[in-house]
A and B are shown apart, each in its own frame.
Chain A
Amino acid sequence: MRLTAVLAAAAMLGGMLAGCGSNDSSKSGKGETGKVQQNEDIAKFIYQVTDSFDTSINYIAASWVTYGVAETLFEVDEEGNAVPLLADSMEMKDDLHWTLKLKEGIKFHDGTPFNADAVLFTFDRLAATGEIGGNFDFIVSMDKKDDYTIEITTTEAYGALKERFCEYKTAIVSPTNKFEDTLIGTGPFKFKETQKDVKNVVEKNDDYWGGDVKLAGAEFYPGEDEMTRSFQLYNNEVDFSILNIPITEYENAKTKEQLDVFTLDCDYTHIMILNTTKAPFDNKDVRHAFSYAIDREQLVNSIYGNVEGGVPSFGVVPVKYSWSNPDACTAVYDREKALELFRNAGIEDTDGDGMLEYEGAPFTVTIMTYETGLYKNAVEILQSQLKDIGVNVELEITTWDVTDQKMSDKDYDINFDSVPFLEFGSPVSLANKFGSDAYFALGAGYASEEMDLALEEGSKALEEETRKEKYDKVQEIAMEDMPFIPVFEVVKVYAMNKRLHDMDLNTYSVFKLTKDTYIQD
């Protein structure tokens, strides 16, 4: 018996050592410096895993556009303008009609030609499944005029059409797609191998219409644990993680020579959503009071510490966008003003104990938010800030399905959440927040005819100037009505291996793998 035990132990150890000895080809070695190697470079990424390859249905799958597999008709350039990509041009014939011309000579990864049929296939799917918000309902029809020309009919004049076609879910996919375990698109990279939850591998599309692709391919690995992916970056097992690393790792990551550590503003703004159907939040003064009561800068400093880049939000559109209306960045810290407004609403410190009273009882509000990310940290700071001014705050830390339900039932005081005010840099998406049928507005019990009008006019306006004017107005109304109080922008920390170059970082803080991305040690 002892002999077998010893043998078993020896076998185990032997197996382990053998396994360890086998070659690790995934390490990025210190190659010869200075050479841009064309044919063997594989970039390794950590990404957000999804089981789906269906860009029209699954919003995470739509990221394959950023990983270079599928492309949209238009894309957003550095200035925020929608410029043609797969499209050649799109002109407005009249108020309700557009002529879309497609680029010729483009092929999908499997050789299928990119043409009007493919475009119609894509948009038919979007219409049929109606997924991810059926908000393409302004399109009445798309008619094929010839292989490369499509006429689009809209319900009314829709100025933002080009911008809408930048959205990832509109990426044009081949009609030959089954979407089961792969995606056939037109991009610089095509799928080589997919292994669910293990890795996805893409390789260079030799026939890419846009020109020569520098990288030989890329590999995508899951990395849900934020510490683990940090370790993988430190250990050179991946070149970049599209998912951020924890703020607490900022300092540590900076000590690693091979990494570039930086922060990015993620286009999400943390806001306090107020239940305007419930007293005293139905009183505008009270809403404004809350906004004046919080010291955004202090909060940002507490959270981000010495990590550069925490951005307090004083208005609804982040200032880096040209769409931002500087006159509407009025959510500042003003303690006196806050107290004054509270007093006007009947909330004051009647017994001198430092805490405000409302209707005879200590003024208490509940803020609900999520456990993950910075939400909890942030509300804890808000809690102490508000306490300082005399408001008693209780916290409810929960999950998003609960908050969804409570928003639906209007059963809450304040919901601390985050929203992308400008999706894809387009102000049209302000309607998804402030429009009377938008989820957020509905949840806040907010509906304003004036706001709806401004939004509608903005989306329809055909001139740049008019659009700016209208959206400026939207922001003013937003700050005046204040159903949501902007607090700070979501800034995340990223680390990238220095050998990876030219990952396109567009204004929307989304990393794009392009044909120009390359590796140089």
Chain B
Amino acid sequence: MWRFIGRRLVQFIGILFLVSIVCFSINFITPIDTAKRALGDPMTHSLPDETILERFREEKGLNRPLHEQYLEWLGKILHGDLGESLITGEPVGEDIVYHFEKTFSLAVFAMGLTLVFAIPLGILCALRQNKFIDYIGRLLAMTAVSMPGFWVSYLLIIALALKGGILPVAGYGDGSLKYMVIPGIALSLMSFGTVMKMMRNNMVDVMKEDYMITAEAKGLHPFQIIMKHGVKNALISVITLAGMTFASMLAGSAVIEKIFAWPGIGHMILSGIENKDFPVVQACVIVVSAIYLMINFLVDILYIIINPRIRYDKEN
């Protein structure tokens, strides 16, 4: 197992390195003059003098060769300095933490919803395979997956906030749970269908396995058979799916965050892009990639741990 971990770690660093190069190149692939972008007024298109623009370029080191700029940037990142915003001049690192916290809490909430509802629903549908509940369940899952995120969000707002009257439409508010409810449900729905379906399908497969009959032959109660023998095996690949889903939630669903004015990292990236604030975009992408890769990595390890076949095979 340790060799596996070692290998994956090397992969992780390698990919991150590549990402950093791509990320850094954004600056230069797009035909925009950073100085003009930072100092100009997009509304009236008025620009300061060339001397002032040039001064800006010098200050930010924009005139030096690319690889020098890249190395300096990389060096700073490794020291934890994620750069400063072109617009406000403030350090990006703190900003990222501020925004990421909020994406994180929303993701945890949404993931919780998915797990608590999608998994039992999947089990239920498998047990009542091809009966009414199964059809309804699968229909719901498919609809949830096919509806575009913004549409689902608006529907939820109308149903729960406008008609329901208890929940707020949008915003972070005071950070209390009620502000998380609608965006959390919307975010959860985006992955709900796939998790539920996978659980259901896995359960259906598992129920056909011989060891389920063995369990019955022992005299176990059906509930015990399903939960202990069935679910445990069905859950293995669902857990890894859930892990990946969580990772993508952490990347910050930009759509959900925009609609609900949720001040998360997706929102931050969007603003950065709109404002063409490159340092922000670069830093966010690096951080999000790192987190995403990290979770990927952890999920792989988790899979090995919970699937005894692989765990002990590797050792042997």
Contacts and interface: CB of A to CB of B under 8 A. Distances in A.
B55 to A, nearest CB: 9
A52 B227 CA distance: 55
Interface string A118-142: 0000000000011111110000000
Given A228-B260, A401-B30, A401-B276, A198 B171 contact: yes
From A12, A231, A234, A432, residue with most partner B Cβ within 10 Å: A231
A52 B157 contact: no
A33 B225 CA distance: 65
A26 interface: yes
Interface string A222-233: 111101100110
Contact of A20 (B46, B154, B166): B166
Contacts of B85: 51
A223 B112 contact: no
Interface string B157-185: 11001100011111111001110110000
A231 B158 contact: yes
A134 B43 CA distance: 15
B47 A439 contact: yes
> How big is the B interface, by class?
35 or more
A26 B112 CA distance: 28
Interface in A33-57: 50-52, 54
B98 interface: yes
Interface stretch (A1-9, A103-111, A301-309): A1-9
Given A8-B116, A24-B178, A405-B31, 11 more contacts: A15-B177, A59-B42, A131-B41, A132-B40, A132-B48, A134-B48, A197-B268, A198-B263, A199-B171, A232-B171, A237-B169
A16 B180 CA distance: 9
A471 interface: no
B88 interface: yes
A423 interface: yes
B39 interface: yes
A361 interface: no
Interface string A401-432: 11011000000000000011001000001001
A223 B47 CA distance: 29
A455 B192 CA distance: 63
Interface in A190-210: 196-199
B66 interface: no
Contacts of B52: 129-130, 134
A419 B260 CA distance: 30
A275 to B, nearest CB: 16
Given A1-B227, A19-B178, A432 B46 contact: yes
Interface string B16-48: 000000000000001110000101111111111
B260 A58 contact: no
A395 B31 CA distance: 21
Given A20-B181, A227-B154, A132 B168 contact: no
A183 to B, nearest CB: 13
Contacts of B276: 401
B87 interface: yes
Nearest to B32: A401
Interface string B253-271: 0000011110100011000
A211 to B, nearest CB: 33
A180 interface: yes
From A227, A405, A429, residue with most partner B Cβ within 10 Å: A227
B177 A235 contact: no
Question: Which 10 A-B pairs rank lowest in CB-CB distance, beginning with the nearest?
Answer: A19-B177, A133-B46, A197-B263, A439-B45, A130-B48, A130-B52, A19-B178, A132-B41, A134-B48, A225-B259
A279 interface: no
Interface string A376-418: 0000000000000000000000001110110000000000000
B261 A16 contact: no
B261 A224 contact: yes
B263 A224 contact: no
Contacts of A404: 32, 45
Contacts of A484: none
A58 B87 contact: yes
Nearest to B153: A228
A440 B157 contact: no
